[in-house]
């Protein structure tokens, strides 16, 4: 397992190209199961999660070619309708093959995803939605087996849960509904840009979806879908992560290219309230450090609210911002693994019942720390940029799951990061 050595004292400048969205790519790759024709998907980030998804699709019988960011995939002859545990356990998002497999075969057999460090990851809302379309779900031996003996039939489905909407649950039901008989209305749907990107691609394949991006999505079932060429939207969470890097360590300013600023309003609003200077153009965002930084109180919410996937990164900024900041995660209340590691570096963070109270300190100091989940790990890299000394971060495979060459991109901005084998 590799590790990072992040040398403190970074002064970042210049520009960085943001990659295609991991969280849009995963359901979009799964959606290629819905047609026998060739699909060309561009700007698929080279991260381990998309690699796992392609392995799952190949395991099902898909023909896959990949050349840098472009994936050419054809699911003409599927030999299975099963997503096995040894692949699903590596990546929870593989549950989003359930909907397309059900639509294609009228059955699906998918291993139940394990939990993960950010909390319990149930799929009850996914199953409720798919049952609403006429599937029967049974759970046995750690697998969920879905069968639509009489085919899928459109209906009105409520997808809202106690923590708000479900992103992949909305994707699963939408992908099942596109080939169902009749019309489906999804109430309580997730509004994330990644859901909209999936709907855009499905419509380009011949689906009839309206309302994506709102909490009410209507899908008129069609008999078949065709092939497509689709370019994935920019990764708003990678972009947000680099905005925080700029807020913490920009020498004067850094510029993010190939982004969609509209997807980042909740994040840029908070950073501006903290005193950062933000400049937006059509597909770029620039950020300069605050001259007199102040903290903030943030609560994560479903889109367009402040994203839970940016919560850990903001904790890294607030750990060095004078005064008290309060961060509450209503989506994943347990998602504070980064706090205990940051405390090893001298941060003053108290976490209780889904809320972190952060008292900014003057300086943090390097310490050996351990990456845990994707975004917590990114937050440790951010903390290391300014810590006194050289921060050693182990288990960086967590970071490689969702960030395309984050070390190379930060080095290009002026950071000093080494990627070493674990035993170095
Ligand atoms: C997506 O996960 C993202 N992953 C997550 O990003 C992101 O944190 C999450 O949405 C919330 O925005 C991908 O898109 C691949 P949810 P998803 O279903 O769809 C509860 C990252 O760092 N819930 O929207 O799996 C759930 O426990 C990852 O890139 C149920 O109760 O999340 C949570 O509290 C981490 N029952 C809330 O809903 C269900 O059946 C939102 O979860 C499903 C979810």
Q: Structure tokens of 153?
A: 């039939």
- Cβ of 122 closer than 6 Å to ligand 1, yes or no, is yes
Backbone angles phi, psi at 186, to 5 degrees: -100, 110
Residue where a domain terminates, one of 204, 231, 258 = 231
Q: Examine the domain organization and report whether 241 and 227 are in the same domain.
A: no
Query: Any catalytic annotation for residue 75?
Result: no
Residue range 9-24: mean pLDDT, rounded:
98
For the cut 90, the answer to whether the pLDDT of residue 117 exceeds it is no
Are 227 and 274 members of one domain? no
Task: Tell me how far the alpha carbon of residue 122 lies from the centroid of ligand 1, in angstroms.
Answer: 9
Token readout for 16 is 């960085």
- The residue nearest atom 10 of ligand 1, judged by CA position, is 167
170/274 same-domain check: no
> Model's pTM, two decimal places?
0.97
**Between residues 200 and 91, the one the model is more confident about:** 200
Q: What is the dihedral of CA 317, 45, 373, 270, to 10 degrees?
A: 30
Residue-level pLDDT at 114: 61
Give the CATH number of the domain where residue 29 resides: 3.65.10.10
Task: Enter the DSSP assignment of 171.
Answer: H
Residue span of the structural domain in which 223 resides: 22-231
Structure-token pair, residue 58: 């190949």
Instruction: Say whether both 328 and 275 belong to one domain.
Output: yes
| Segment 203-228, tens digit of pLDDT | 999 999 999 999 999 999 999 999 99
Which atom of ligand 1 lies closest to the CA of 26? 15
Ligand 1 proximity of 305 Cβ (cutoff 6 Å): no
- The answer on 85 and 32 residing in a single domain is yes
For the chain, give the number of residues: 424
Residues 138-157, mean pLDDT to the nearest whole number: 94
Check pocket membership of 335 for ligand 1, CB cut-off 6 A. Answer: no
Q: What is the model's pLDDT at position 86?
A: 82
Report whether residue 308 contacts ligand 1, using a CB cutoff of 6 Å: yes
Measuring from atom 20 of ligand 1, which residue has the nearest CA? 163
What is the average pLDDT score of the chain? 95
Residue 284 has pLDDT above 80, yes or no: yes
**Tell me, what's the pLDDT at 56?**
93
| Whether 214 and 336 share a structural domain | no
Query: Measuring CA to CA, how many Å separate 182 from each of 34, 94, 129, 252, 387?
Result: 17, 27, 15, 56, 58
Catalytic residue among 39, 116, 191, 216: 116
Nearest CA to ligand 1 atom 15: 23
Rounded Cα distance between 141 and 124, Å, is: 17
Peptide bond into 304 cis (omega under 30): yes
Residue 126 Cβ inside 6 Å of ligand 1? The answer reads yes
The Cα 72–Cα 229 span in angstroms is: 9
State whether 223 and 310 are in the same domain.
no
Q: Is 23 in the pocket of ligand 1 (CB under 6 A)?
A: yes
pLDDT score of 141 more than 90: no
Nearest partner of 190 among 217, 157, 162, 154, judged by Cα: 217
Residues 179 and 57 in one domain: yes
Residue whose Cα lies nearest atom 6 of ligand 1: it is: 309
DSSP β-ladder status, 38-42 and 70-74: antiparallel
What average pLDDT does range 312-317 have in this prediction? 98
CA of 223 to the centre of ligand 1 (A): 30
Q: Model confidence at 14, in pLDDT bands (50, 70, 90)? A: very high
- Residue at token pair 């169902």: 180
In total, how many domains does the chain have? 2
Taking the CA of residue 24 as reference, the ligand 1 atom at the shortest distance is 14
DSSP annotation of 308: G
Domain termination residue (choose one: 179, 198, 231): 231
pLDDT at 365 over 90: yes
pLDDT in tens, 30-47: 999 999 999 999 999 999
Domain final residue pick, 170, 198, 231: 231
Asked if residue 64 and residue 205 are part of one domain, the reply reads: yes
Distance between the two ends of the chain, CA-based, in angstroms?
Answer: 10
């Amino acid at each position: 397992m590799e590790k990072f050595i992040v040398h403190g004292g970074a002064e970042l400048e210049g520009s960085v190209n943001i990659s295609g969205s991991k969280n849009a790519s995963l359901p979009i790759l799964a959606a290629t199961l819905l047609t026998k024709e060739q699909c060309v998907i561009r700007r698929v980030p080279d991260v381990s999660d998309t690699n796992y998804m392609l392995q799952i699709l190949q395991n099902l019988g898909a023909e896959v070619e990949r050349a840098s960011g472009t994936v050419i995939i054809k699911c003409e002859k599927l030999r299975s309708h099963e997503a096995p545990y040894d692949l699903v356990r590596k990546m929870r998002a593989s549950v989003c093959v359930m909907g397309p497999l059900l639509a294609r075969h009228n059955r699906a057999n998918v291993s139940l995803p394990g939990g993960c460090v950010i909390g319990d990851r149930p799929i009850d809302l996914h199953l409720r939605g798919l049952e609403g379309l006429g599937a029967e779900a049974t759970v046995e031996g750690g697998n969920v087996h879905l069968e639509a003996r009489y085919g899928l039939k459109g209906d009105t489905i409520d997808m809202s849960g106690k923590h708000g909407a479900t992103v992949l649950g909305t994707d699963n039901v939408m992908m099942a509904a596109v080939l169902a008989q009749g019309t489906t209305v999804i109430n309580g749907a997730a509004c994330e840009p990644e859901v909209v990107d999936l709907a855009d691609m499905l419509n380009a394949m011949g689906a009839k979806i309206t309302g994506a991006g709102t909490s009410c999505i209507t899908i008129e079932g069609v008999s078949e879908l065709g092939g497509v060429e689709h370019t994935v939207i920019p990764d708003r969470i990678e972009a947000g992560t680099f905005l925080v890097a700029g807020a913490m360590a920009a020498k004067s300013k850094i510029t993010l290219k190939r982004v969609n600023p509209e997807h980042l309003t909740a994040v840029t609003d908070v950073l501006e309230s903290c005193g950062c200077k933000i400049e937006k153009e059509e597909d770029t965002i620039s950020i300069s450090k605050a001259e007199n930084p102040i903290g903030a109180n943030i609560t994560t919410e479903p889109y367009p609210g402040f994203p839970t996937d940016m919560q850990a990164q903001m904790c890294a900024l607030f750990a060095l911002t004078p005064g008290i900041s309060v961060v509450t995660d209503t989506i994943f209340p347990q998602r504070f693994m980064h706090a205990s590691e940051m405390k090893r570096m001298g941060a003053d963070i108290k976490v209780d019942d889904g809320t972190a109270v952060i008292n900014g300190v003057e300086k943090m100091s390097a310490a050996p720390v351990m990456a845990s989940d994707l975004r917590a790990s990114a937050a440790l890299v951010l903390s290391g940029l300014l810590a006194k000394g050289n921060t050693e971060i182990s288990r960086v495979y967590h970071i490689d799951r969702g960030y395309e060459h984050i070390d190379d991109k930060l080095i290009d901005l002026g950071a000093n990061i080494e990627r070493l084998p674990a035993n170095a």
